[in-house]
Amino acid sequence: MGNAIMGEARNKALGRRMLRSKSFPFTVLCVIAGFAGCMGGSDGVENPKLEVGFQATDGAGAVSGRISLYGKDLNPAEDSIPLLTKDFQAGSFTEFTPEEMDAALRQSLARQGKDSSALKDTTVNFNVLAAGGDHEAFVGGFSYRRTGNTAGFAKMEGKSQSGYGHYKNSFNLPKAVKGFTGRIGIYGISRGIDYVFIPGSPYHAGIKKDSTFSIGKMSEGSYSVFGADRDSSKLFESADTLNTSDTTYSAKAWETIVFLPD
């Protein structure tokens, strides 16, 4: 079943296709004031949890806000509901338990009219978004696995993934990028793209008459950009990576996504 829980039914167009991994400019902070160490996951850990912490590094002091978990293939223009959300306070860890993940997945399956018995053996990939005030951090590469009575969390670190179990780490919370503007280019216009989005995030924007788009607020970083034509229900992926430091971003090349059948 895997990512089908969050990707297939809620976002049919994306199907089982996974977003290519991108690097995000967040230094993992294993030694920051207010945090008591970091650790990766491992199988066989009792009461495994996901614990994530965020710390503003620009002298902003205590920042509070919301942490949201988004299924990796989520199309926010079609369904912006995160898997789970919790309040957070910078300088402390926020935890997510297997019981909370299972409950959220059961709700997702119920919305799809599916049997929750599928949860006995599933893996869900997701991203974490922390937003508070003028700060925002988007961290990808997380995973949750349920196999019978065993469950755990993991995260991709570079090209390798930690073992499933208890995962705990902290990350930078940079200033958010506001009003990021880009263009879809001539090929985007010819394909009839109506809106663009970043899968597995809340970021999406409609295309204006001058072929530009503007995302009101987002985390700094690099992202794969997808576009959609509502009339034909086609999806496209841009070959041009969006980097929030690029003030003249243009998605010049677009590739039609080929879907696997349900």
DSSP-derived secondary structure for 142-160: EEEEEETTEEEEEEEETTE
Mean pLDDT lowest for which of 22-31, 46-55, 136-145, 193-202?
22-31
Q: pLDDT over 90 for what percent of the chain?
A: 60
126, part of any domain: yes
Number of Cβ within a 10 Å radius of residue 245: 11
Regarding whether 146 and 25 lie in a shared domain, the answer is yes
Phi, psi at 10, each rounded to 5°? -75, -25
Which helix (H) or strand (E) covers residue 90, if one does? none
Question: For residue 90, which of 174, 178, 154 has the smallest C-alpha distance?
Answer: 174
What is the domain-level CATH number for residue 197? Answer: 2.60.40
Number of Cβ within a 10 Å radius of residue 134: 14
**Distance, first Cα to last Cα, the chain:** 11
Question: For residue 137, which of 196, 52, 207, 199 has the smallest C-alpha distance?
Answer: 52
Decide if pLDDT at 137 tops 90.
yes
Rounded CA-CA distance 207/189 in Å is 9
Question: For residue 256, which of 231, 235, 239, 241 has the smallest C-alpha distance?
Answer: 235
Decide if pLDDT at 130 tops 90.
yes
262, part of any domain: no
Regarding whether 53 and 138 lie in a shared domain, the answer is yes
Regarding whether 228 and 103 lie in a shared domain, the answer is no
Decide if pLDDT at 216 tops 80.
yes
Rounded CA-CA distance 76/200 in Å is 7
pLDDT digit string, tens, across residues 237-256? 999 999 999 999 999 999 99
Regarding whether 96 and 187 lie in a shared domain, the answer is no
22 token code pair? 């991108």
Regarding whether 86 and 48 lie in a shared domain, the answer is yes
pLDDT given for residue 104 in this prediction: 93
pTM: 0.81
Q: How many residues does the chain have?
A: 262
Residue 73 DSSP label = T
Mean pLDDT lowest for which of 2-6, 144-148, 155-159, 221-225?
2-6
Domain boundary among 172, 199, 220: 172
Regarding whether 99 and 14 lie in a shared domain, the answer is yes
Containing domain of residue 67, as a range? 4-172
Regarding whether 157 and 52 lie in a shared domain, the answer is yes
Sign of the CA dihedral with 121 first, then 149, 70, and 36 last = negative
- Give the mean pLDDT of 13-24: 39
Rounded CA-CA distance 52/148 in Å is 25
pLDDT given for residue 116 in this prediction: 74
Domain boundary among 151, 172, 193: 172
pLDDT given for residue 30 in this prediction: 32
Task: Show the beta-strand stretches assigned E in 75-134.
Answer: 84-89, 93-96, 121-132
Regarding whether 149 and 59 lie in a shared domain, the answer is yes
Rounded CA-CA distance 238/141 in Å is 20
Contact, 196 vs 214, CB < 8 A? no
pLDDT digit string, tens, across residues 40-71? 444 445 679 999 999 887 777 678 999 999 99
Q: Which of 94 and 18 is assigned the larger pLDDT?
A: 94
Mean pLDDT of the chain: 82
78, part of any domain: yes
Regarding beta strands 242-243 and 222-223, do their DSSP bridges make them parallel or antiparallel, or are they unpaired? antiparallel
